[in-house]
Amino acid sequence: MQEDEMAACGPADSVKDTNSVAIKDDDEAMLRQMGYKQELRRGWSAFENFALSFTVVSVLTGLTGLYGTGMTYGGPVAVVWGWVLVSFFTLLVALSMAEICGAYPTSGALYYWSAKLAGERWAPFASFLTGWFNLLGQVAVTAGIDYTFASFLCTIIMLGTGGANGGGWVATQGQLLGVYVATLGVHATINTFANRLLAMLNGISVVWHVVGTFAFIAALLAVAPSHQSADYVFTSFNHPDKGIASNFLIFLLGLLMSQFTLTG
């Protein structure tokens, strides 16, 4: 019986399994050389890890969630050139982190890297600060993304039931808060208990973002009744009605749209 099962697997499957075990053993051996014992199970493929990062960036969420902020503070200049500027500096950070990750491929990531790079004397302090700042940032960005989703969902329901002026359902602050809390609960449950489902959702998200973004652009080009001139798109600078006189500060506030999107 065992021989039949082994024959059914075939030589290709056996080689694949052997290579997989060898890769994991090599990774664990490298971690042991750094004095780091592997504790977490590695169950995601390279694409699934990429899908997670791609989903965290979420171009659709960032653009639609803070588009009004970008257009209010700086207008097209902040939206277009701010995107280029933020992308450039974000790429520098990403390349630096990729280099460090290649040297220290550990689950601790940022706080572990900080400890190793700071030296023995400053390692605890650097690791403590990095870990807590990263945790607070993750909490804040998760709260922001889920609140954006809750707002979108309530808006879609309102439009689908007749609109604000047509008797549609308009969420109160309490109802919006309830949708927001429910969203956080669903996401926490999936992240905690459904690891494989999370990987699958991230894969779907990649397709959704790529197709959705291009579909969004195509729809705007095809359906919009009019289009602005190139001069407006690339050189127009918008000042808010009141409050801030400095163009530099206005431009910095306009960068929040791009920064929020590329936080991941």
**Residue 238 corresponds to which amino acid?**
N
Least confident among 27-36, 41-50, 92-101, 113-122: 27-36
Contact 57, 264 (CB under 8 A): yes
Give exposure, 202-214, as e/b (b: 16+ Cβ within 10 Å).
Answer: bbebbeebeeeee
- Our CA angle for 185, 64, 46, nearest 5°, is 65
Are 86 and 258 contacting, i.e. CB atoms less than 8 angstroms apart? Answer: yes
Q: pLDDT for 132-182, tens place per residue?
A: 998 898 898 888 889 988 998 999 899 889 888 888 899 999 999 999 999
71 close to 250: Cβ distance less than 8 angstroms: no
Query: pLDDT, tens digit, for every residue of 202-229?
Result: 889 899 888 988 998 899 889 988 889 9
- Asked whether residue 7 carries a pLDDT value surpassing 70, the answer given is no
CB 253 within 8 A of CB 74: yes
Work out the average pLDDT over 72-96.
92
Q: Does 27 or 112 have the greater pLDDT score?
A: 112
Q: Where does the pLDDT of residue 19 fall: very low under 50, low under 70, confident under 90, or very high at 90 and above?
A: very low
Query: How far apart are alpha carbons 153 and 75 in whole angstroms?
Result: 26
Structure tokens at 120: 């023995």
Question: In whole angstroms, what is the distance from residue 251 CA to residue 73 CA?
Answer: 6
pLDDT value of residue 24: 56
Predicted pLDDT of residue 13: 45
**Angle (nearest 5°) at CA 231 between 229 and 233:** 70
Which pLDDT belongs to residue 5? 40
pLDDT on residue 177? 95
Where do the structural domains in the chain lie, given as residue ranges? 1-37, 44-261
- Cα 95 to Cα 91, 127, 151: the distances in Å are 6, 21, 34
Percent of the chain at pLDDT > 70 equals 88
Structure tokens at 155: 């808006």
